[in-house]
């Protein structure tokens, strides 16, 4: 419903909550629609007068559109008039939307400079542009054609001369634009190779100090790698070793595996240095072995970047990786060795002392988010560049536990949980008159003193979590220190008073810095949590909201931070150290040439004349579904049921209300052009704490079997149990019974909101085999020849508690079956965990995809275009060596001996750190990001590597992240004119980003890759018991992986988009 509607004149005029932008005059509706006279659309923008569109639309008079939009409302909500300052949520009258005139939400970034501009915007370096052009021209059309003419497509190993094909040309289509890039120029005057030492660290012996417990033995066998010290301890050991051998040598290290130096170290004959490590109450001895040195060919890298010719003709990718890695180690050494910074991974650095760059996330654990910076050296045509970006990390509390207690306001169970596993410096008082200075040792906190601490008859006596020093007693064995009685219980307060003459603060709880089995108690004022410890669990919803609020900043703010605080944190303005290596970092961000590709036109069926097509224009990556129907309805839904889950709480179930909403939804689907009969019946099984969701739902699913349902609609109660209910619904429906299903929260369904109904309708139509929309102009390569498009991805058991070593990885593979690229059936399987490259199952599954295309099209595809998602640059060659042969073998299985398809293999990556910022307000959207459709293929790339960055979507908040596409194999475009090949691939990728079936907006990554990722997420549901119980695996030693569980779906659902 259109909640609290208002009308207004002037700036942000309109109806609905948060009404958007537009031209013309009229009314709109929506929850979160902007106000303003305007044919407004969605997030942030508004110009002129007209009909409104907004995300998450509601009902009301008028028409509107958003992500799913354009459906007539019912006008049930009360309306009112009012004046406001900028139009808050439709109820107030607004004046003057920021930036673009009228309409839209209040600008979160109001008052900021709109475009990053530290001065005049420089043109991209003309010398680099000239070199890029010359390198492309130098390839020669004749040479390229001759090369491709020699290609013999084999069923097994391809010739390596078509791996990593050279860029045929830079793209030429689109409106030229100059952009800022988050890169600095990296100059080096190094004339000689650098030296690299590889490090191996092993524990030699362990010696407990007097009065301290020995380190407990680890459970299970530990490999040498597992015994390797980590994090701070590793940093300290390597530093101590370098202090012995590199006293007068300039070096840099990441304090893990490598050291880069200008001169050789003074090493023992065996290259092994012994280090004494004093901490955690004991003295350990480690051996650090220096392997090497080997040379790092920095001059060779510089020569390659200027010519793009590798004398070795090695097919390795990326080229000169060792030299690039060495430069990243050198440029990152300042921040990594700075005591006021915390380094995470190889490239992220977080300042611990800049208060303006952090935010306290509050209860339940008072963690804080810190704004840090990423940095990495990168090769580009004619130069080295340094990629720098804003990064955010969540860190644990810091400081004395006594101070932290006050923050928690004596919520001791929460404090107990928050302290567990934190590293802390513990102050040990001295009772020796000759040693007055206390010692500080590092310990790992178990938590607060607790009744469950200890074992046996003499276990500690603790009143409860949060007990003070006088209320915590431990058994003190003889001989006892002077003034204390041995073989008797003693309170912590008495122990400190009589042994050290110290009166413990009675207001603070006692901290256990030992273990649950062997507790060691200390007063809170003597335990100081070390700063910079990252959070290892998933954030809570409240923490996530706090993170988003802190990290969501304008592109201008991020670019400014990189150029100011970022340089400070990374030490880029510390010339003395870098100068020793002959390195200098440019002062300003680089500019690059980009192009804004024109959007495609979208086709639906006309809402009033269903036999006719209706064209819909794309505006800033979004479009309107007003007065249209889906392009093609799927199989008619003749037999279907709905279930509303009764979780036993008041207001859940609500059978009659759900039944009414379901009837309204069915009527709505028919207006969308989706063929559906009336519901057979509804059910309301009860799920309680004592009864699992599967036990409650399975009997209902069995009851339905006699009717052979095509679809089941499940209404979830909207409580914490929903995850378990969702998982069981999908396991039962997808695997056991073979029912297509759709879940929705009860609170969302009962709103009877056309926005929600439209969203559900698009998903249902895809699941039933329909096509929601298509492009008006057919994609050239698909129009000319039968072409199948494929996407596949692998997801791993990351971000889970405990040991995930035995858990499987999941592969998702989708493929198109029609020329409109509207249907993408899938197959998925599990393989050994942490294995990125696909196993031999790929051959069988890929052959099945080809046969499915043949079944639907009565012919085999002549071209197969593959988007491989989620592999790093270092894995590109492995994709070609391991996965490509399996794809070719799959083709050999299906095709006649005299026929083979031409393959195009492109890697799509979203997890990179490249960002672009507008230099001109005319070339940005309301969120101040670059326009959707912006492509960059030069300036920060290598001229001869065929890759490009594409921002297909409209960024809504923060800085838009482009997708990065790299061509690993090309047999499809090779014989085209060179400009046409580059343009066609960029347009193909951009245009299919508008074909994500469940949305009315372009998506940021091409749908084959996006769908494959969704398939992996859905398949993890089938293994939810393993993933959710992964913490139990943390007690297992490095045993064999768990048996791989089959994750195939029921035969009824195979070759459908059940996963959407």
Phi, psi of 371 (to 5 degrees): -85, 115
Lookup: tokens for 615? 């064209």
Domain ranges in the chain are: 1-107, 194-210+224-294, 412-529, 633-767, 778-912+961-1034
Sign of CA pseudo-dihedral 605, 610, 614, 616: negative
Phi, psi of 845 (to 5 degrees): -70, -40
Residue located via tokens 């050290």: 500
| Sheet of 488-491, strand order | 461-462, 472-476, 488-491
What letter does residue 718 receive in the DSSP assignment? -
- Domains 412-529 and 778-912+961-1034 alike in fold: no
Burial class (CB within 10 angstroms; exposed 0-12, middle 13-18, buried 19+) of 919 = buried
Q: Which residue(s) pair with 603 in the sheet?
A: 615, 774
* Per-residue confidence (pLDDT) for residue 19, from 0 to 100: 37
Instruction: Report the distance separating Cα 677 and Cα 665, nearest Å.
Output: 12
Q: How many of the other CB atoms lie within 10 Å of CB of 899?
A: 10
Instruction: Report the distance separating Cα 1006 and Cα 1004, nearest Å.
Output: 7
Query: Are the C-beta atoms of 527 and 400 separated by less than 8 Å?
Result: yes
CATH class for domain 412-529? mainly beta
* Per-residue confidence (pLDDT) for residue 689, from 0 to 100: 52
Lookup: tokens for 187? 């100059």
Lookup: tokens for 259? 């050291």
> What's CA 497's distance to the chain center, in Å?
53
Residue located via tokens 């409580």: 719
What letter does residue 1029 receive in the DSSP assignment? T
* Per-residue confidence (pLDDT) for residue 181, from 0 to 100: 98
Tell me the pairing of strands 947-951 and 613-616: unpaired
Tell me the pairing of strands 258-261 and 194-208: antiparallel
Q: How many of the other CB atoms lie within 10 Å of CB of 1056?
A: 20
CATH H-level superfamily of 778-912+961-1034: Ribonuclease H-like superfamily/Ribonuclease H (3.30.420.10)
Q: Cis omega (within 30 of 0) on the bond before 318?
A: yes
Lookup: tokens for 229? 């010290």
3-state secondary structure of 656: helix
Architecture per CATH, 633-767: 3-Layer(aba) Sandwich (3.40)
Residue located via tokens 């020093």: 469
Compute mean pLDDT per 10 residues along the chain, 1060 residues long, and list them: 37 37 37 35 36 35 38 36 34 36 60 82 95 86 44 45 87 97 94 93 68 46 57 92 94 96 95 87 87 94 90 80 96 94 94 90 90 97 97 95 90 93 94 76 95 94 95 94 92 95 95 95 97 90 90 94 96 88 95 97 95 95 94 96 79 79 95 94 75 87 94 84 85 96 92 93 98 94 95 77 67 96 96 72 96 98 96 92 95 96 96 96 92 97 96 90 97 91 97 97 97 95 71 33 72 95
* Per-residue confidence (pLDDT) for residue 10, from 0 to 100: 37
* Per-residue confidence (pLDDT) for residue 227, from 0 to 100: 60
* Per-residue confidence (pLDDT) for residue 600, from 0 to 100: 96
> What's CA 38's distance to the chain center, in Å?
35
Q: What is the pTM of this model?
A: 0.85
Q: Which residue(s) pair with 81 in the sheet?
A: 7
């Amino acid at each position: 419903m259109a909640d609290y509607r208002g009308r207004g004149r002037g700036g942000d005029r309109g109806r609905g909550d948060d009404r958007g932008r537009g031209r013309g005059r009229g009314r709109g509706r929506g929850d979160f629609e902007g106000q303003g006279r305007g044919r407004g659309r969605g997030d942030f923008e508004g110009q002129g007068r007209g009909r409104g569109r907004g995300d998450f639309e509601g009902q009301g008079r008028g028409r509107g559109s958003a992500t799913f939009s354009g459906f007539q409302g019912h006008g049930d909500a009360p309306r009112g008039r009012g004046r406001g300052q900028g139009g808050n949520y439709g109820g107030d009258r607004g004046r003057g939307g920021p930036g673009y005139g009228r309409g839209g939400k209040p600008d979160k970034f109001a008052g900021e400079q709109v475009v990053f501009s530290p001065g005049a915007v420089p043109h991209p370096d003309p010398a680099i542009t000239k070199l890029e052009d010359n390198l492309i021209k130098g390839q020669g059309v004749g040479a390229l054609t001759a090369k491709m003419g020699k290609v013999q497509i084999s069923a097994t190993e391809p010739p390596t001369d078509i791996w990593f094909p050279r860029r045929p040309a830079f793209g030429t289509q689109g409106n030229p634009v100059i952009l800022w890039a988050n890169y600095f120029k990296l100059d080096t005057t190094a004339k000689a190779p650098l030296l690299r030492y590889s490090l191996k660290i092993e524990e030699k012996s362990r010696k407990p100090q007097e009065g301290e417990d020995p380190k407990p033995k680890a459970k299970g066998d530990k490999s040498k790698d597992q015994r390797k010290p980590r994090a701070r301890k590793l940093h300290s050991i390597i530093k101590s070793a370098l202090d012995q051998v590199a006293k007068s040598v300039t070096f840099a290290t990441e304090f893990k595996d490598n050291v880069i130096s200008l001169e050789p170290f003074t090493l023992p004959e065996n290259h092994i240095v012994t280090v004494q490590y004093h901490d955690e109450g004991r003295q350990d001895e480690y051996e650090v072995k220096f392997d090497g040195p080997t040379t790092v060919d920095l001059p060779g890298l510089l020569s390659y970047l200027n010519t793009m010719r590798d004398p070795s003709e090695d097919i390795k990718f990326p080229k000169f990786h060792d030299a690039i890695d060495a430069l990243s180690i050198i440029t990152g050494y300042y921040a990594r060795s700075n005591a006021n910074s915390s380094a995470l991974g190889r490239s992220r650095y977080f300042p611990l002392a800049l208060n303006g760059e952090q935010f306290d996330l509050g209860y339940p654990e008072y963690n804080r988010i810190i704004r840090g910076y990423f940095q990495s050296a990168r090769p580009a045509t004619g130069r080295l560049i340094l990629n720098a970006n804003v990064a955010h990390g969540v860190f644990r509390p810091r400081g004395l536990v006594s101070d932290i207690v006050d923050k928690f306001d004596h919520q001791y169970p929460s404090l107990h949980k928050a302290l567990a596993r934190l590293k802390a410096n513990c102050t040990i008082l001295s009772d020796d008159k000759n040693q007055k200075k206390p010692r500080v040792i590092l310990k790992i906190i178990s938590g607060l003193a607790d009744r469950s601490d200890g074992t046996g008859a003499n276990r500690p006596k603790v009143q409860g979590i949060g007990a003070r020093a006088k209320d915590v007693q431990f058994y003190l064995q003889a001989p006892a220190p002077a003034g204390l009685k041995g073989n008797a219980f003693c309170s912590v307060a008495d122990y400190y008073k009589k042994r050290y003459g110290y009166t413990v603060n009675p207001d603070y709880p006692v901290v256990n810095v030992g273990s649950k089995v062997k507790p060691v108690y200390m007063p809170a004022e003597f335990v100081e949590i070390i700063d910079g410890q990252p959070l290892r669990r998933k954030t809570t919803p409240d923490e996530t909201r706090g993170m988003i609020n802190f990290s969501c900043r304008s592109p201008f703010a991020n670019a400014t931070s990189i150029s100011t605080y970022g340089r400070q944190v990374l030490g880029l303005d510390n010339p003395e150290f870098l100068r020793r290596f002959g390195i200098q970092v440019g002062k300003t961000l680089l500019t690059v040439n980009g192009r804004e590709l024109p959007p495609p036109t979208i086709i639906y069926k006309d809402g009033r004349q269903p036999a006719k097509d209706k064209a819909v224009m794309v505006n800033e990556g979004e479009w309107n579904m007003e007065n249209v129907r889906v392009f093609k309805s799927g199989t008619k839904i003749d037999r279907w049921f709905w279930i509303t889950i009764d979780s036993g709480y008041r207001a859940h179930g609500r059978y009659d209300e759900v039944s009414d909403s379901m009837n309204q939804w069915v009527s709505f689907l028919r207006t969308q052009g989706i063929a559906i009969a009336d519901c057979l019946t509804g059910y309301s099984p009860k799920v309680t704490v004592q009864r699992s969701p599967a036990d409650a739902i399975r009997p209902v699913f069995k009851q339905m079997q006699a009717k052979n349902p095509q679809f089941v609609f499940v209404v979830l109660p909207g409580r914490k149990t929903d995850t378990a209910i969702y998982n069981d619904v999908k396991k039962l429906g997808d695997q056991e019974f073979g029912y297509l299903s759709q879940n929705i929260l009860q609170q969302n369904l009962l709103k009877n909101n056309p926005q929600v109904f439209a969203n559900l309708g698009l998903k249902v139509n895809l699941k039933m085999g329909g096509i929601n929309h298509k492009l008006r102009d057919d994609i050239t390569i698909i129009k000319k020849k039968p072409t199948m498009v494929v996407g596949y991805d692998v997801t791993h058991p990351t971000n889970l508690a405990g040991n995930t070593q035995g858990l499987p990885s999941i592969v998702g593979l989708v493929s198109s079956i029609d020329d409109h690229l509207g249907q993408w059936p899938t197959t998925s399987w599990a393989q050994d965990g942490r294995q990125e490259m696909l196993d031999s199952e790929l051959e069988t599954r890929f052959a099945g995809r080809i046969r499915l295309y043949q079944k639907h099209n009565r012919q085999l595809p002549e071209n197969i275009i593959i988007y491989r998602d989620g592999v790093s640059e270092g894995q590109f060659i492995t994709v070609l060596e391991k996965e490509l042969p399996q794809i070719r073998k799959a083709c050999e299985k299906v095709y006649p001996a005299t026929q083979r398809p031409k393959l195009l293999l492109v890697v799509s990556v979203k997890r990179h750190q490249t960002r672009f910022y507008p230099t001109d307000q005319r070339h940005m959207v309301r969120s101040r990001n670059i326009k959707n459709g912006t492509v960059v293929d030069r300036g920060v790339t290598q001229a001869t590597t065929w890759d490009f960055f594409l921002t297909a979507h409209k960024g809504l908040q923060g800085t838009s992240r482009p997708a990065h596409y790299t061509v690993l194999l090309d047999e499809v475009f090779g014989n085209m004119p060179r400009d046409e090949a580059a343009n066609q691939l960029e347009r193909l990728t951009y245009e299919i980003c508008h074909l994500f079936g469940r949305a009315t907006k372009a998506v940021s990554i091409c749908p084959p890759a996006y769908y494959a990722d969704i398939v992996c997420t859905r398949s993890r549901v089938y293994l939810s018991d393993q993933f959710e119980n992964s913490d139990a695996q943390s007690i297992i030693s490095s045993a064999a992986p768990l048996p791989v569980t089959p994750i195939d779906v029921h035969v009824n659902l195979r070759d459908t988009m059940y996963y959407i």
